[in-house]
Amino acid sequence: MLFWYSKLPILLISSTAWAVFQTAAHSQIIRDQTLGIEHSIVTPQEFRDLIEGGAIRGSNLFHSFLEFNVNEGQNVYFANPDGIANILTRVTGGSRSQIFGTLGVDGPANLYLINPN
């Protein structure tokens, strides 16, 4: 029985490190409430996060977020519905965005990320 207890600290450290790594692997994208029912939908997937929804006005698609960060090794892509030429994304919170991973579009639209901080 003593042998099992001697391995407990290693098990706890390993479990904690794994949990921290798994948390860090996901982007930090928080939508705000300014677009009402046309809000963005962030769907975490196995190898990337997909952002859908938003407000369509003509050939433009608008998204609005409180916080928008992409961690190293993370991939975040915006859906590109038919007829959309521009995806305009604003960040309304008080923090600057940090893009250390991949940010892109699933299609030919231009992507604009606007954060005044």
- Is 12 within the bounds of a domain? no
What does the pLDDT read at residue 26?
55
What does the pLDDT read at residue 7?
52
Token pair for 117: 């901080």
The per-residue b/e assignment along 77-108, b for 16 or more CB within 10 angstroms, e otherwise, is: bbbbeeebeebbbbbbeeeebebebebebeee
φ/ψ bin of 56: left (φ > 0), alpha (ψ from -120 to 50), beta (otherwise): beta
pLDDT in tens, the chain (117 residues): 455 445 545 544 444 444 444 444 457 999 999 999 999 999 998 889 999 999 999 999 999 999 999 999 999 999 999 999 999 999 999 999 999 999 999 999 999 999 999
**Structural domain tally of the chain?**
1
Query: Does pTM top 0.85 for this prediction?
Result: no
Domain that holds residue 87: 26-114
CA-based nearest residue to 113, from 72, 78, 75, 71: 78
- Is 63 within the bounds of a domain? yes
Token pair for 39: 């809000």
